[in-house]
Amino acid sequence: MDRTAIITLWKEGRTRLTNQLNTIKTEDLPKKLGDSPNSAGFLIRHIAEVELLFAKNVFGNMGVKVDAQTLKEGKDNGVWTNLESLLAFVEEAGKQLEKAIGNQENWETVIETKEFGKKSKIEALGRISTHTAYHAGQLGIVVKYGK
């Protein structure tokens, strides 16, 4: 498979997140929608953490350092309110995942994780792409309608 095409496809899908980031304000980060447990800041942090986990554990970018705080906590504890830090974290996650994607040789190789079982690497790429887009959609709604 053409690496450039795969990276282009992934980057385009990720615009569901990245196109929102330049309009988010610090005051948007604590917003939640109704009784939803997760704030906008939590969602941004979570997206980046999972991208880093995929870069390292699925696609083998072993230089990645990730402390998956949102997964450890399992809920929003209200600490993700530093916009500059969150934006830098998302940018780093994107760079590391792009590097990992670009280093893949055989997309049909099957990997196994406890989170989603056995998948080929190309299926795993679909999984992380849709994970980011799914939560980016939530983020957009929370920022627009949340309080």
Q: Is the pLDDT of residue 67 over 80?
A: yes
Mean pLDDT of the chain, nearest integer = 96
User: pLDDT of 44-65, one tens digit each?
Assistant: 999 999 999 999 999 999 999 9
DSSP track, 24-49: --GGGTT---TT-S--HHHHHHHHHH
d(CA 53, CA 60): 10
Fold of 3-145: Four Helix Bundle (Hemerythrin (Met), subunit A) (1.20.120)
For CA atoms 21, 42, 62, 58, the dihedral sign is: negative
User: pLDDT of 81-124, one tens digit each?
Assistant: 999 999 999 999 999 999 999 999 999 999 998 888 999 999 99
